[in-house]
Chains A and B, each alone.
Chain A
Amino acid sequence: MRLAAREALLGFRRAPVLSALSITTIAFSLFAFGLFSLVALNIRSTLQAMESRVEIRAFLVDSTTPESIAAAMGDIGGFPEVARVEYITREQALERARSELGEFKDVFEAGFLPASIDVRLRDGFRDPATVRKIAERIKVYSFVDDVRFGEEWVQKLYSIRNVATAAGVILGLAFAAVSIIVIGATIRMAVMARSREISIMRLVGATDGFIQRPFLIEGLVKGLLGGALALLLTWFASSLITRYFIQTEFFDAKLAFLGLLGGALIGVVGSAVSVGRQIRRVQ
């Protein structure tokens, strides 16, 4: 192992330009991936904040008795998906509408808006299908005039998130593939540069595994360094965006560690897929 580590280190020292090139390529691949992840992360957290505001509002007919309202609220509050049920009187509705509309508050008059039962759903039950299902169940009460839950809005929110996630996964895989190809190419050059050593190692009885080990260690180290550099670049970009445009959220320690691990994985996989084939070419 000591020799393998020393050989890997020698690999860096003997081909510093090539090594720097592969680290930079890994870093830029991961940086692009990191930037996209950062965008996805921020979209997701924004969506989560918006999503928590998803609400079902059941408007009541004017003649509804307080008993019916209380019974319905007890009923609805018992649904496992429901987090909170609130009764909004006509006066409260007017108050809320005025506060939300600011300068146009005077256009409303008392009695213009109906009373309603506002329903908030628990985390994990705010997807369009569940929201619609609950709305349908609330609609069956005879004193419920209409149910609103911003159907289109909820649908759009989810579409954006799904597209963001899918694009993230596809781009991530594409960048990982590019990194693996680049590492494969640099391994090929590294093997060619060290073909004399490899042929001597083989001649004195080194096993294939032994010959491959320094290249795998080198790949691992390059991947880790590339990952760290990418993390640094992403952090820098995130700071710039926060400073000049909008407040952004950066990866937490767990995600940052996963990024490094991703770099290491790309480094090792990239080396592993090509080193075996390349060293067999050495005579």
Chain B
Amino acid sequence: MDASRPAFVIRFANVSKEYPRTGIALSDVSFTVSKGEFVFLTGPSGAGKSTILKLTYFDELPTRGDVWVSTTRSKGVSRKEISMLRRKLGVVFQDFRLLEDRTVEQNIAFALDVIGTPQEKIHGKVSRLLAQVGLASKATSMPRELSGGEQQRVAIARALANDPVVLVADEPTGNLDDRATRGVFQLLREINAAGTAVLMATHNLDLVKRSELRVLEINRGAVVYDSNDEKRRQPEFTP
């Protein structure tokens, strides 16, 4: 194996995270996400799912232990390295985080512009991304004119703009009805099938149960269940 290109895209090694006010958020968490893998992150509210996701895009750094994402290590990481790492990641949130005063295509072009994509390449890339998420006809719409599911698709298209190796999604279907949830989930499966690893935090146990994908269950800041482990058992968490 080429040492500079590890087989995992995310690796947590004995990671603990403590906040000065709220105390321990994660304690001694270890897991890896392989290239091209789809992993659900489940657990009750406040269990530490969001903290894990923030650690993956280095919005937070561990108090103890180490996080590797692609080839970047959390220990001693610089702000510049964090920026460069994020160009290899896509992040999607429950609240979409679109710019309300710009059209759908401007929202996606913005992400490309920010990382210095040449102007002549942006238009073509935006069109391809919109086609990929099924919104080719909505390019000039404003976000408020779209349904929740459509807005989340725009956010996913924006997250894919950098051709990420991993897509990190924090409750991406949390604000959507069943139909939109299925559509967004299907889109994430397609993205995953094309080779992008997906780490998705969700409360939606139906979604988790229906698919045969890997599940990591977090409770009180620790991994309490990993479906990849040999001693499989049923998840404890029920929402």
Chain B residues 71 to 90 lying within 8 A of chain A, measured CB to CB, are 79-80, 83-87
Kindly provide the distance from the CB of A97 to the nearest chain B CB, expressed in whole angstroms.
80
B110 to chain A, nearest CB (A): 7
Given A203-B57, A203-B91, A204-B162, A197:B115 Cβ within 8 A: no
Taken residue by residue from 114 to 136, chain B's Cβ proximity to chain A (1 for < 8 Å, 0 otherwise) reads as 11000100000000000000000
Tell me if A199 and B114 are in contact (CB < 8 A).
no
Q: Is the CB of B97 within 8 A of A205?
A: no
Number of B interface residues at 8 Å Cβ cutoff, please give it.
22
Shortest Cβ distance from residue B114 to the other chain A in the assembled complex, whole angstroms: 4
Least CB separation from B59: chain A residue: A283
Task: Determine the distance from Cα of A201 to Cα of B83 in the docked complex, in whole angstroms.
Answer: 10
* In contact, A204 and B158 (Cβ under 8 angstroms): yes
Given known pairs A14-B101, A196-B97, the reply for A205 and B110 (CB within 8 Å) is no
Identify B115's interface contact among A14, A204, A208, CB under 8 A: A204
8 Å CB contact of B114 from A2, A14, A201, A283: A201
> Is the Cβ of B79 less than 8 Å from the Cβ of A210?
no
Q: Which residues of A sit under 8 angstroms from B87, Cβ to Cβ?
A: 204-205
Instruction: Identify which of A197, A202, A283 contacts B86 (C-beta below 8 A).
Output: A202
Q: A35 to nearest B CB, angstroms?
A: 40
**Contacting A199 at CB < 8 Å: which of B97, B110, B162?**
B97
- Nearest A residue (CB) for B155: A200
B88: nearest residue on chain A (CB-CB)?
A205
Taking a contact as CB atoms under 8 Å apart, the answer to whether A196 and B119 are in contact is no
The answer to whether A205 and B79 touch (CB under 8 A), given A2-B119, A200-B99, is: no
Give chain A's interface secondary structure class. helix
Q: Which residues of A contact B162 (CB under 8 A)?
A: 204-205
Which residues of chain B have C-beta atoms less than 8 A from A196's C-beta? 97, 99
Residue in A199, A200, A202, A207 whose beta carbon sits within 8 Å of that of B80 in the complex: A207
Contacts of A3 in B (CB 8 A): 113-114
Within 8 Å CB of A206, what residues of B?
A: 83, 114-115
Do A204 and B161 touch across chains, with their CB atoms under 8 A apart? yes
Q: Which of A188-217 contact B (CB under 8 A)?
A: 196-197, 199-208, 210
Cβ contacts under 8 Å, A201 to chain B: 110, 114
Closest to B99 in A: A197
We find that the number of chain A residues with CB closer than 8 angstroms to chain B is 17
Contact with B along A1-38 (1 / 0, CB 8 A): 01100000000001000000000000000000000000
Contact A210 B114 (CB under 8 A): yes
Whether, in the assembled complex, B208 has its beta carbon less than 8 Å from a beta carbon of chain A, the answer is no
> Is B111 interfacial (CB-CB < 8 Å)?
yes
Q: How near does chain A come to B201, taking the closest CB pair, in angstroms?
A: 16
Residue ID in chain A nearest B89 by CB atoms: A205
Q: Which one of A200, A204, A206 has the highest number of Cβ atoms from chain B below 10 Å of its Cβ?
A: A204
Given the contacts A2-B119, A3-B113, A210-B114, A205 and B99 also touching, CB distance less than 8 Å: no
Q: How far is the CB of A198 from chain B (nearest CB, A)?
A: 11
Q: How far is the CB of A3 from chain B (nearest CB, A)?
A: 5
Chain A residue, CB-CB nearest to B116:
A210
Question: When the two chains form the complex, which single residue of A2, A204, A208, A283 contacts B111, counting CB atoms closer than 8 Å?
Answer: A204
Are A204 and B119 interface neighbours, CB within 8 A? no
Interface string of B43-80 (1 = CB under 8 A from A): 00000000000000101000000000000000000011
28 contacts between A and B (CB under 8 A): A2-B119, A3-B113, A196-B99, A197-B99, A197-B110, A199-B97, A200-B97, A200-B111, A201-B110, A201-B114, A203-B57, A203-B86, A203-B91, A203-B97, A204-B86, A204-B87, A204-B111, A204-B114, A204-B158, A204-B161, A204-B162, A205-B86, A205-B115, A205-B162, A207-B83, A208-B79, A208-B83, A283-B59
- Further 18 A-B residue pairs, CB within 8 A, beyond A196-B97, A204-B115, A208-B79: A196-B99, A197-B110, A199-B97, A200-B99, A201-B114, A202-B86, A204-B86, A204-B87, A204-B158, A205-B83, A205-B85, A205-B87, A206-B114, A207-B79, A207-B83, A208-B80, A208-B83, A210-B114
